[in-house]
Amino acid sequence: MTLELSARDQSMLDGEQGPSSAAAMKILVAFSNAIGATSLLDISAAHIDGCLYHGKAGLDFVERLVEGGGRVRVPTTLNVGSFDLIHPSMVKMPAAEEAPARRLMKAHLELGCQATFTCAPYQTRFRPGFGQQIAWGESNAIVFANSVIGARTNRYGDFIDLCCAMTERAPAWGLHLAENRRGRILFELDVADGVPSDSLFVGVGLIIGQASGDRIPVISGLPKPRDEDQLKALGAAAATTGAVALFHAVGITPEAGTLDEAFQGHAPEETIRVTRADIDQALSRLSGVPDGAPLSAVSLGTPHFSHDEWMRLLPLLREAAPGRGIPIYVNTGRATLARLQEEGALDGMEAFGLIPVADTCTYVTAILDRLDGVVMTNSGKWAHYAPGNIGVTVAFAEMRDCIRSAAVGHVVRGAS
Amino acid sequence: MTQSVAAFERAGSFQLAGAAEAEALVFSQPLSFWGGIDAETGEIIDHSHPGRGQNIAGKILVMPSGRGSSSSSSVLAETIRRSTAPAGILLERPDPILAVGAIVAEFLYDIHMPLVVCDIAGIVSGERIAIGIREDGGASVRRI
């Protein structure tokens, strides 16, 4: 089996378009051979998950591409970094780590990437369209692009996402191809929710992530979401407990108008019934503490808060008016933050403990002042990773309960 | 590909070409470099892996396949940079994540850690394995 290259691919490989393009194409060819792709296809956008500093090799790679005069060839957004460049004093990092972490973010800009520094590039002006071929990194962004938008990407990661951006190419395989996007496993939801809560979507995500393996899940019976933020939460949770890169929700997502369309006329390989009790059980695993536990912080916005989510949060803050100085961290994209500031929407909100965080996320770097108490979140992804990443105890709850708890100083949930 | 153990020389294909000679460290279970290897030392730190506590540095690592997150590319490249990487890796099935890590390290540091896809049956930990480049560009794997 040989990989077929276009004349332009070959020209890049031969170094006729500079050493950085040559390196990117060489790596892309090796990757394509390893997965058994027989050709490459054009992509029109990329999202790079390369700005978190994990070691010198990652930085050396980007520096070498910069030295070789490398430039990305498609509009390319950047995922979060280790640093909040908008609020530099917020991240508590030793100087020896800060310099390379900052440099890594800046070096990507020198390659022509956009300074988005967000895990939710679909909330920026670079949002792709239905059917668009893209090469995205970052698990929640990948599942959102494929499932909610109907754009087409595989799960790209380390180095390869950037090689795709620098060559404008990706291997023609996996979810880039229509026939590989059909559902394989059916989750039949049996939940009678009048107005579905945010946590229902998180719970469904946790369950399909755990049970799907490498099969594309199809969900039937999912209540109509209020907005795409609920689907964002579902996808982020599914990509946390599993490797889900694409889900279909019948009657909701764009490639699943009907059950038959979602499965492209095939029968499901397996059918799993999901009840309210299953969802409650999955959600209960996200909370390490009982109600009443003292609260040290709230963290919202994983994935990064959308403008709509801010518009739901701000009235809750005014209503509950937390005044105990418990920090309420909200991770968001810098573009969303700039819009809110222009609108004056955040004026006076710091009195309630609100601390907006941009460019990074509270679980990938040292932001939280206190790690000793309980941190509340409405994010299934944050609840899953934060205990391991930064050593906190987490209580998962609806956003309203997070804010009420900040007002009273301890964990309260539901009607309590 | 020959199956004969007596005349132990088999052909393989390179995901990254290079030569190496070292002691084999064989696992029947795939190992994820990300979360599974301490890049500073080369020690296996994955609690769920039978090789936990052993060290991959300077060995010929033999396993059926790679496993897990794409971040393993970075970790492999970082171990190659720090000289805590295996001397070479033999896999039964090609692995895109490890291939990317190996090729990035070759690009950056000009270190050629051979990554070979071949029949790994019959290779046991502790025996010395030599990886060489054949005239046709393929890999030769020998017990010595």
> Rounded to an integer, what distance in angstroms lies between the CA atom of residue A86 and that of residue A63?
23
- Check CB contact under 8 Å for A157 and B73: yes
User: To the nearest whole number, what is the mean pLDDT of chain B?
Assistant: 91
For residues A110-138, give the mean pLDDT: 97
- Phi, psi at A284, each rounded to 5°: -65, -25
Tell me, yes or no, if B69 is annotated catalytic: yes
ipTM above 0.90 for this complex: no
Sequence length of chain B is 144
Q: What pLDDT, in 10s, does the model give residues A64-76? A: 999 999 999 999 9
> Rounded to an integer, what distance in angstroms lies between the CA atom of residue A386 and that of residue A389?
5
Structural contact between residues B58 and B111, judged by C-beta atoms closer than 8 angstroms: no
Query: Smallest Cβ distance to A34: which of B69, B71, B95?
Result: B95
Structural contact between residues B40 and B143, judged by C-beta atoms closer than 8 angstroms: no
- Residue A195 confidence (pLDDT): 82
pLDDT at A416 over 50: no
Where does residue B72 fall: left (phi above 0), alpha (psi -120 to 50 degrees), or beta otherwise? alpha
Please give the domain boundaries of chain A with CATH numbers for all domains.
7-178 (3.30.499.10), 182-284 (no CATH), 295-408 (3.30.499.10)
Q: What pLDDT, in 10s, does the model give residues A230-253? A: 999 999 999 998 889 999 999 999
Annotated active-site residue in B13, B65, B69, B125: B69
Residues of A with Cβ-Cβ distance to B105 under 8 angstroms: 57
Q: What pLDDT, in 10s, does the model give residues B15-58? A: 999 999 999 999 998 888 988 899 999 999 887 789 999 999 99
Q: What pLDDT, in 10s, does the model give residues A144-185? A: 999 999 999 999 988 999 999 999 999 999 999 999 999 999
CA torsion angle A332 A148 A400 A406 (round to 10)? -30
B7 confidence band (pLDDT: 50, 70, 90): low
Structural contact between residues A73 and A43, judged by C-beta atoms closer than 8 angstroms: no
Query: Which contiguous run of DSSP H or E holds residue A24?
Result: helix A19-35
- Residue B1 confidence (pLDDT): 45
Q: Which residue(s) pair with A329 in the sheet?
A: A299, A355
- Check CB contact under 8 Å for B80 and A58: no
- Residue B4 confidence (pLDDT): 44
- Residue A415 confidence (pLDDT): 56
CA-atom Rg of chain A in angstroms: 22
- Phi, psi at A12, each rounded to 5°: -65, -45
Alpha helices (H) in A228-379, listed in sequence order: 228-241, 259-262, 276-284, 307-320, 334-343
For residues A305-329, give the mean pLDDT: 97
Burial A363-397 (b: 16+ CB within 10 A, else e): bbbebbeeeebbbbbbbbbbbbbbbeebebbbbbb
**Looking at the complex, does the CB of residue A55 fall below 8 Å from at least one CB of chain B?**
yes
First to last CA, chain B: 18
B32 min Cα distance to partner chain A (Å): 14
Sequence length of chain A is 416
**Looking at the complex, does the CB of residue A31 fall below 8 Å from at least one CB of chain B?**
yes
Reference A383, options A225, A244, A199; nearest CA is A199
B3 confidence band (pLDDT: 50, 70, 90): very low
Tokens for A127, please give them. 């949002």
Residues of A with Cβ-Cβ distance to B16 under 8 angstroms: 30
> Rounded to an integer, what distance in angstroms lies between the CA atom of residue A306 and that of residue A327?
20
- Residue A13 confidence (pLDDT): 97
Structural contact between residues A288 and A387, judged by C-beta atoms closer than 8 angstroms: yes
> Rounded to an integer, what distance in angstroms lies between the CA atom of residue A205 and that of residue A142?
14
In chain A, the percentage of residues whose pLDDT exceeds 70 is 99
Q: Which residue(s) pair with B62 in the sheet?
A: B26, B90
User: To the nearest whole number, what is the mean pLDDT of chain A?
Assistant: 95
For residues A366-373, give the mean pLDDT: 85
In chain B, the percentage of residues whose pLDDT exceeds 90 is 76
Tokens for A211, please give them. 């049970």
> Rounded to an integer, what distance in angstroms lies between the CA atom of residue A106 and that of residue A5?
32
The class level of CATH for B9-143 reads alpha beta
- Check CB contact under 8 Å for B74 and A159: yes
Residues of A with Cβ-Cβ distance to B99 under 8 angstroms: 30-31, 33-34
A97 confidence band (pLDDT: 50, 70, 90): confident
> Rounded to an integer, what distance in angstroms lies between the CA atom of residue A202 and that of residue A230?
8
With vertex at residue A414, the alpha carbon angle to CA A413 and CA A415, rounded to the nearest 5 degrees, is 115
Query: Smallest Cβ distance to B71: which of A60, A156, A158?
Result: A158
- Check CB contact under 8 Å for B70 and A61: no
**Count of CB atoms situated within 10 Å of the CB of B105:** 25
- Check CB contact under 8 Å for B71 and A26: no
Tokens for A137, please give them. 């990194």
- Residue A333 confidence (pLDDT): 98
Would you give the DSSP letter of residue A216?
P
Return the amino acid letter for A347.
D
For residues A352-374, give the mean pLDDT: 91
B2 confidence band (pLDDT: 50, 70, 90): very low
Nearest chain B residue to A20, by CA: B107
For residues B69-91, give the mean pLDDT: 93
